[in-house]
């Protein structure tokens, strides 16, 4: 079942953050990820206006998305943004409606 990697981001240093974003697409693709939205226009409808970049990536499974995040390649890339480039909140969520009716 497909799963979605959702990230809300704040960019503090665009040059440092770009070092991260230049590496990420190939890492995602190696884990079966497909970018659905990355850094495009957005509208905050409700909640804090804290973040200025949003990312949605589809993976074939929840496990594939988590494995991508935990991979040495992604962790090495993430070190660039963690070292002053920006802040990211990240979650991988399985598709479908798991809410009982």
Q: Are 53 and 11 in contact (CB under 8 A)?
A: yes
Show the domain range for 33.
3-93
**β-sheet bridge partners, residue 37:** 56
Asked if residue 98 is part of any domain, the answer here is no
Asked if residue 36 is part of any domain, the answer here is yes
Asked if residue 53 is part of any domain, the answer here is yes
Specify the number of domains making up the chain.
1
Q: What is the pLDDT along the chain (101 residues), one digit of tens a residue?
A: 999 999 999 999 999 999 999 999 999 999 999 999 999 999 999 998 999 999 999 999 999 999 999 999 999 999 999 999 999 999 999 999 888 88
Rounded CA Rg of the chain? 14
Describe the strand order of the beta sheet including 3-11 as a list of residue ranges: 34-38, 53-59, 3-11, 86-94
pTM above 0.85? yes
Write the CATH number for 80. 3.30.70.100
Asked if residue 46 is part of any domain, the answer here is yes
Helix (H) or strand (E) holding 36: strand 34-38
């Amino acid at each position: 079942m497909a799963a979605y990697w959702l990230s809300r981001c704040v960019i503090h240093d665009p040059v440092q953050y770009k070092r991260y974003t230049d590496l990420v697409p190939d890492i995602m693709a190696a884990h079966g990820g497909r970018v659905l939205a990355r850094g495009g226009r957005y509208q905050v409808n409700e909640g804090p206006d804290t973040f200025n970049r949003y990312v949605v990536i589809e993976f074939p499974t929840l496990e594939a998305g988590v494995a991508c995040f935990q991979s040495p390649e992604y962790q090495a890339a993430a070190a660039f943004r963690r070292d002053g480039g920006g802040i990211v909140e990240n979650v991988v969520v399985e598709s479908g409606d798991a809410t009982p009716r």
